[in-house]
Amino acid sequence: MGCIDEMDYEILLPSSSIKECADYIKKNFKEIYYVRQGYRIFNTFLIGFNPIPVAVENDDIIMPYVKPCHGSFVLRIKAKNEVERLRGGGL
């Protein structure tokens, strides 16, 4: 996968704090995996406070994303391969 900016994504929670993003994911999704800061997904290293919640819904990844100088967001990205890797415990 390439840069997240080049992917087809949906912003579920715009311009929020890292904590607000984590709370949103925990409150709104059932299938959640907790990863450590620096976990690589879509060739991007996640930034946040350990543990970072990443949710799965169908073939979508719901994740917090920190874009320097723009803030934190919760994104939904369709990505069956990443879903399978996350479910399998792959790093």
Residue 69's domain spans which residues?
4-87
**Number of domains composing the chain:** 1
More confident of the two residues 51 and 7:
51
pLDDT of residue 90: 60
| Of residues 70, 62, 78, the one with CA closest to residue 23 | 62
Q: Is the pLDDT assigned to residue 80 strictly greater than 70? A: yes
Distance, CA of 55 to CA of 12 (rounded, Å): 12
DSSP conformation class of 6 = G
What is the token pair recorded at 13?
A: 């929670």
Q: Is the model's pTM score more than 0.85?
A: yes
Distance, CA of 3 to CA of 24 (rounded, Å): 24
Q: How does pLDDT run across 36-79, given as a tens digit for each residue? A: 999 988 888 888 889 999 999 999 999 999 887 788 999 999 98
